[in-house]
Structure 1
Amino acid sequence: MSAELVFYTNPMSRGRMVRWMLEELGQPYRAEILGYGEAMKGDYRRLNPMGKVPALAHGEVIVTEVAAICLYLADAFPQAGLAPAPASTERGAYYRWTFFAAGPLEAAVTNRALGVVPTEDQRRFVGYGSYETTLDALESHLAASDYVTGGHFTAADVYVGSHVGWGLQFGTLERRPAFEAYWDRLKDRPAAVRAREIDDALIAKAKQGAA
Structure 2
Amino acid sequence: MSRITFYHSPRTRSSGTLVLLEELGADYDLELINMKAGEQRQPAYLAINPLGKVPAIRHGDALVTEQGAVYLYLADLFPRAGLAPALDDPLRGPYLRWTVFYGSSFEPAVVDRALKRDPAPSAMSPYGDYDSVIRTLADQLEEGPYLLGNRMTAADILWGSALNWTIGFGVVPNLPVFQRYVERMTARPAFARVAERDAAWVAEHERAAGKA
Same-fold status (TM-score > 0.5): yes
Superposed counterparts of 1:1-211, under 5 Å: 2-36=1-35, 37-118=38-119, 122-211=121-210
TM-score (norm 2): 0.92
Structure 2 distance, partners of 1:175, 1:45, is 36
Kept after mapping to 2: 8 A contact 1:17/1:158: yes
Seq. identity, %: 40
The structural deviation recorded for 1:170 is 1.5
Structure 1 distance, partners of 2:7, 2:88, is 32
| 1:208/1:84 CA distance change after superposition, 3 Å | same
Structure 2 distance, partners of 1:162, 1:191, is 11
What amino acid does structure 2 have at the position aligned with 1:18? Answer: T
Structure 2 distance, partners of 1:115, 1:16, is 26
Structure 2 distance, partners of 1:43, 1:208, is 24
Secondary structure, counterpart of 2:152 in structure 1: coil
Structure 2 distance, partners of 1:118, 1:46, is 32
Structure 1 portions without partners, runs of 5+: none
How big is each residue's C-alpha offset from its partner over 1:80-117, in whole Å with a ceiling of 9 and x where there is no partner?
Answer: 11101213331111111111111111000001101112
Structure 2 portions without partners, runs of 5+: none
| The 10-residue stretch of structure 1 (38-47 or 81-90) with the greater mean CA deviation from structure 2 | 38-47
Structure 2 distance, partners of 1:39, 1:130, is 31
The structural deviation recorded for 1:159 is 1.0
What amino acid does structure 1 have at the position aligned with 2:26? Answer: Q
Kept after mapping to 1: 8 A contact 2:39/2:45: no
Structure 2 distance, partners of 1:67, 1:126, is 20
Structure 1 distance, partners of 2:32, 2:154, is 23
Secondary structure, counterpart of 2:140 in structure 1: helix
Structure 2 distance, partners of 1:51, 1:102, is 17
Structure 2 distance, partners of 1:173, 1:39, is 27
The structural deviation recorded for 1:208 is 2.1
What amino acid does structure 1 have at the position aligned with 2:45? Answer: Y
Structure 2 distance, partners of 1:134, 1:116, is 16
The structural deviation recorded for 1:68 is 0.7
Structure 1 distance, partners of 2:40, 2:130, is 35
TM-score (norm 1): 0.93
The structural deviation recorded for 1:38 is 4.6
The structural deviation recorded for 1:160 is 1.6
What amino acid does structure 2 have at the position aligned with 1:15? Answer: S
Structure 2 distance, partners of 1:26, 1:51, is 27
Structure 2 distance, partners of 1:63, 1:46, is 12
Secondary structure, counterpart of 1:30 in structure 2: strand
Number of residue pairs matched by the alignment = 208
The structural deviation recorded for 1:13 is 2.1
